[in-house]
A and B are shown apart, each in its own frame.
Chain A
Amino acid sequence: MTTGTTSATTTEPKPMTDASLILTETDGAVGIIRLNRPKVLNALNPELMSMLAAQCEAWDKDPAIHVILIAGSERAWAAGADIGDMAERSAIEMYERDQFATWERIKRVKKPLVAAVSGWALGGGCELMMHCDIVIASETAQFGQPEINIGVMPGAGGTQRLSRAVGKAIAMDVILSGRFLSADEAYRFGLVSRVVPTEHYYSEALKVAHALAKKSSIALRLAKEGVLKAFETTLSEGLEYERKLFYMLFATEDQKEGMRAFVEKRRPDFKGR
């Protein structure tokens, strides 16, 4: 893994000769991960997923990083999983290997995950995208859960997260028919946060990541937790939970700084404490 400290460019990630499954760099308080299996359109294999999870966990603990940006290439964010690797496995093997357990580690990341998505976001790629908190998609991005076409179904959260994101009617259509959604549809259905011209999808995602990185890091984490709670609980419990998170922020320096800066009409200087 190349953990560099070079400052990020605002253009499309350049193809690198490095054989690493993921490429990482930091740009200020933004940690950037690029999925790097161009020959297989960034298909997600277990090795890549555990490297991705490990990097996310490392940055989640690193106070210098506030936001994590995950990008693919312009052609493919991630086009599914390694089918060849799974084709002949038995149910017991799959159960014991429990490849989707790694995904739980990404789910547990507390810092905001921003996805820069262009091209194919299919199967596991779509599911990885749905683990992210804000999705900036290019106009040419396409989304789908085509597992049905090879006699299986989504296994890394697709049936659960897609249904929560777009509702039953669209989720059933996508998962049962295997049809792809255009960027425009994905935006209308609430699957992605913003759609921008392909030339700008990466720079826009980076811009969003930097904008978040300027906020209070602790407030970001609790706000993310609050939103995710909405998908796990009842309204009354969620409201109760939200209220506790809100009160909890009054124990932070950032709350004092943010509110004082507002009153004093100046920009706040957050410390993440």
Chain B
Amino acid sequence: MTTATTYETIAFTVADHVATITLNRPTVYNAFNDALTTELHDALKTAERDADVRVVVITGEGKAFSSGQDLGDLKAKYVPGHVPHLGEDLKRRYDPIITRITSMDKPVIAAVNGVAAGAGCSLALACDLRVASEHASFIEVFINVGLIPDSGSTWFLPRLVGLGKAMELCCTGDKVGAEEALRLGLVNSVVPAAELMSATMTLAGRLANLPGRGLALTKHLLRRSFERDLKAQLEAEAFAQETAGMTADHTEGVVAFIEKRKPTFTGR
């Protein structure tokens, strides 16, 4: 069963426990205007709260994943004598999207169909997994307009590719193609463009049928592992395992293993 919610700048559908959010401003390479960031956050919130949704996929319509902030939208602000307050803009529009993705219990997959630049790149990096089309590319384009990589890029990138490479990519604004992204660990897989959505849905479908609580706990443990020392992480693992051990899915997994049958997980 597929349900769709109507938005102007994104498409939002739920099918087979997977919510798909498609950035839908293809004529401007899915650039983020005010409406898009509002709707994207709203859709993420809906997906997070919908008990039927177990996995979230974010992709872009047309040639690009997203080219980042819509500069055309800012034109009016760039008149002589005007100082933009970009920090406030980030806190209001972008940061809630990023923290929503990282803090929600459900895995979020970016299906990167084309260029992911600026905040579009940050959005892809914030997701838990990245499946890339052969046409995908990543550009930390901010420095070219005198800005810093925002929306979490300076946090996610060094964690994914190491400090040295992150420094290079952020300081040069160089483009990383799909194959190089795979080599760097920036994406999890690269597939032919025509197979992007089927490959992504296969992955999403697998995750949707795994124990949801176990996935959530695993996501949060890995997400926080860079902030903790080993002792604190071991402590966190012990608590998480205590929680996981109490789930019906854990019992089902063990019983199914003993009975040599396929487990049926319910997310409880």
- A residues in contact (CB < 8 Å) with B: 196-197, 199-200
Contact = CB atoms under 8 A, between A and B. Distances in A.
Interface string B197-239: 0000000000000000000000000000000000000001001
Contacts of A200: 239, 242-243
Given A199-B242, A199-B243, 9 more contacts: A196-B239, A197-B236, A197-B239, A197-B240, A197-B243, A199-B239, A200-B239, A200-B242, A200-B243
11 contacts: A196-B239, A197-B236, A197-B239, A197-B240, A197-B243, A199-B239, A199-B242, A199-B243, A200-B239, A200-B242, A200-B243
Nearest to B242: A200
Nearest to B243: A199
Contacts, number: 11
Contacts of A196: 239
A210 to B, nearest CB: 16
A199 B236 CA distance: 12
A199 B239 CA distance: 9
Contacts of B242: 199-200
- Which 4 residue pairs of A and B lie closest in terms of their CB atoms, listed nearest first? A197-B239, A199-B243, A200-B239, A196-B239
A197 B235 CA distance: 10
A197 B239 CA distance: 7
A199 B240 CA distance: 9
Contacts of B240: 197
A200 B242 CA distance: 9
A196 B240 CA distance: 10
Nearest to B240: A197
A134 to B, nearest CB: 17
A206 to B, nearest CB: 14
A72 B32 CA distance: 43
A138 to B, nearest CB: 11
Interface in B114-164: none
Interface string B235-258: 010011011000000000000000
A112 to B, nearest CB: 23
Nearest to B217: A197
A146 B239 CA distance: 32
Contacts of B239: 196-197, 199-200
The interface centre, meaning the residue of B236, B239, B240, B243 with most chain A CB atoms within 10 A of its CB, is: B239
A48 B154 CA distance: 50
B247 to A, nearest CB: 11
A200 B236 CA distance: 11
B177 to A, nearest CB: 39
Nearest to B220: A197
Contacts of B236: 197
A196 to B, nearest CB: 6
B99 to A, nearest CB: 13
Contacts of A197: 236, 239-240, 243
B225 to A, nearest CB: 15
A6 B239 CA distance: 27
A196 B242 CA distance: 12
Nearest to B227: A184
Nearest to A184: B227
Contacts of A199: 239, 242-243
A200 B240 CA distance: 9
Nearest to A196: B239
Interface in B12-37: none
A16 B227 CA distance: 39
A198 to B, nearest CB: 10
A200 B238 CA distance: 11
A200 B239 CA distance: 7
B239 to A, nearest CB: 5
B267 to A, nearest CB: 16
A200 B217 CA distance: 14
Contacts of B243: 197, 199-200
A65 to B, nearest CB: 27
A196 B232 CA distance: 11
A258 B262 CA distance: 54
A200 B245 CA distance: 13
A200 B237 CA distance: 13
Interface string B76-105: 000000000000000000000000000000
A255 B239 CA distance: 35
B42 to A, nearest CB: 23
